[in-house]
Amino acid sequence: MQKPIPPDVVLVSDFKESNKTLYLYFEAGQGYLFKGAVEAFVTQLKTQLPVLFDGHAYQLRSQQLEDELDDKQQQALLPAYDLAETLNIEITQTENNFLLHALIDGKPYRAAELKGFDEEIQKQCIDGFDQVEEALNQGLTHFPLLQHEYMDAGKRLNTEVANKHLDPLINALKQQFAKSPEITAYLDALQENLVSKLHLFWDQTDDQVTSNTQSSMDELLAEQQGLAVFEVNVLVDNRDLKHAPVIYEQNATMPKLFGYAINSASANSTDSVSLAMNHQAGLLQQANGGYLILSIQALLKDPEIWSNLKAALMSRKLSFEIPSTSNVVAYHLPDYPLSLTLVLVGQSVHFYTLQEIDAQFSRLFKVQVEFEVELARTPEHEMTLAQQLASEIDIWDDLPVDLSAYERLIEFASRMAEDENRLYTNKAILRDVLAEANAFARANGQECVTRDTVEATILQREFHTGLMEEYYHRAITEQQVLITTQGEHIGMVNGLTVLTVGRQSFGQPVRITAQASAGDEGVLDIEREVEMAGPIHSKGMLILSGFLRGRYMKQRALGFSGSIVMEQSYNGVDGDSASSAELLALLSSLAQLPMRQDIAITGSINQFGDIQPIGGVNEKIEGFYKICSARGLTGQQGVIIPQANVCHLMLNAEVINAVSQGQFHVYTMSHIDFALGLLTGVDAGQPNELGDFPEGSVNARVVKALEKMNEKDD
């Protein structure tokens, strides 16, 4: 079932709770439109509100409030003025106080000027001053209430005028964006908060407006940053999506997954809302409602990532508490509801490791899928792989690719799978080969990429990375490493190994020798004795010993001493693919029958002499062929491989041509007796019902040699 496109997520201020934010959800593509509309709306207010409050209509109504205040204040002082008139006291009002003068014969006198009059007049005037002053004080007690009423009326006027202007603008935003009650509630709260912060939109020197806000300097500076509460942060923008998000991240980090704050001028602010508006969503938020694909190896590198990711998955939400850093102070975001499909990709060993160290892993990740890197080589799969390669390179501005080139690439895919019936499905490697083939074709003036172009490209790739192989093969051809490719020799067999250097693997022949004598020490593995053999190689030697006992010593114990070694091997050995060659060398030494040196052999053996398949069969064959070719092909040289490896043969063109022309041979065996007969030229011999071998056969000679070694002196 296809998931729908998730909504855009917008972070805005929560006007109901100081220094908090909240999430709003919009249809995909509407989030950035909402941000633009709100920002344009606030910017518009910065120019419109000053004009509105400086307009004639507002100023007229504001003046009316001032006049009403003056009238009420004068009414409060009227009894004092009436009393002063009856007492011949003149009241003069200045900016900050009242001045009283006594009127004597029509002239005003202050209290200090009454000393020239008789005591009765002085007393009468002083009493009048006291009475009028008391009346004035009585009237002034009403001023605070009148001032408060005036301020309330001013606020109501500002609110009325602002709302009358804001209502159509907010309604337009509602009509366009308010698809949910949460968005409607936010826009209502936005309007209410704008009205409460009108002072941020015009000159702070306006006496009428600033008189409504008795803020300290610190509060005023804080309000200068108050416009940040009207910002809109689009955390998740899904406008370009055609389906649910699918995000792949190979190098996951904490900031990438959970989000981070952009360093900016506001990062030095102590306002958490300003900081939150610089928060960038992490991949978990961006992929919410869709799919997030992470490399499991990246999670294992940082335990903090896994612990936080696990907590988010189990709680189905992201909890944000961004800690303080050198650049950003701490800020808080609301919990983010989490609903996504998390896919972890990587090597299976990493999954098993995480399962072992965390018991909750299997609870969170219930579906485990292992992908096959190979496909059966069927016509349908060949066609599909070729079509996919063709579609991927269609955008390349390169030469056309002939059908024969795709055929060679299919063969190359089988070679990488080491199976003629399988295809290696790593298209990246095949694309690389095709890209190099295009470059090769252009460099050589070709008009299209053909089979020969791809073949030449593959050879060129091997040449570019074949320096180490060249060193090893040169050591053999220059007889620094002794390998014989002609003639016969007792106790000596050419085995085959594979060396891997970087991305290049190549075959390398190795001389295996054995010596046998009377004794009872059994088979001595020199490699193991000097601790240069791995456990699998040692296991192969023990199996070899088991074969000897089972074939030649069922009736009675026949003790002997033998030693086996891979000559000129200095880096240690492992694996059991040489066990058949080691057995042949030992049997040659026991029976004193020479072994052909122009045929190399590879294959592991079980205790019954059956030959088991091995890896790297193509490289091994090609490695021995290169040595033989460098010395000159005789038409007799070749290799023996396990019968089970026939399906893995994907040899290069040079070896195939040599085999088809009879210059080189590839033999297969299912039992060691075939190799015994081919390498010695003597029939191996099969046991009869009594367990005896035919006279003159290889096996009979081995038994005879063992019996002779175990003869007791009279």
- In the DSSP assignment, the letter for residue 614 is -
* Cβ neighbour number for residue 412 with a 10 Å cutoff: 20
Parallel, antiparallel, or unpaired for β 599-601 and 492-501?
A: parallel
- In the DSSP assignment, the letter for residue 325 is -
Clarify whether 620 is annotated catalytic: yes
Burial of 332 (0-12, 13-18, 19+ CB in 10 A): middle
- CB 21, CB 276: distance < 8 Å: yes
β-partners of residue 499 are: 506
| H/E stretch holding 562 | strand 561-566
Tokens of 161: 């005028």
- CB 59, CB 371: distance < 8 Å: no
Tokens of 635: 């038409």
C-alpha distances in Å from residue 575, one per residue of 28, 112, 526: 59, 125, 15
Tokens of 674: 């075939």
User: Apex CA 430: angle with CA 425 and CA 435, to 5°?
Assistant: 160
Query: Dihedral of CA 82/84/87/92: which sign?
Result: negative
Q: Which residue in the list 256, 579, 604, 620 is annotated as catalytic?
A: 620
- CB 206, CB 182: distance < 8 Å: no
HEC assignment per residue over 329-363: CCEEEEEEECCCEEEEECCHHHHHHHHHHCCCHHH
Distance between terminal CA atoms of the chain?
A: 90
Q: Does residue 213 sit in helix, strand or coil?
A: coil
Buried b (16+ CB within 10 A) or exposed e, 644-665: bbeebbbbbeebeebbeeebbb
- CB 670, CB 603: distance < 8 Å: no
* Cβ neighbour number for residue 216 with a 10 Å cutoff: 8
* Cβ neighbour number for residue 154 with a 10 Å cutoff: 19
Query: Measured between alpha carbons, how far is 591 from 489 in angstroms, rounded to an integer?
Result: 12
β-partners of residue 344 are: 294
C-alpha distances in Å from residue 267, one per residue of 99, 218, 230, 276: 56, 19, 17, 10
* Cβ neighbour number for residue 528 with a 10 Å cutoff: 17
- In the DSSP assignment, the letter for residue 230 is G
Q: Which residue in the list 577, 580, 589, 697 is annotated as catalytic?
A: 577
Q: Does residue 100 sit in helix, strand or coil?
A: strand
- In the DSSP assignment, the letter for residue 636 is -
Catalytic residues: 577, 620
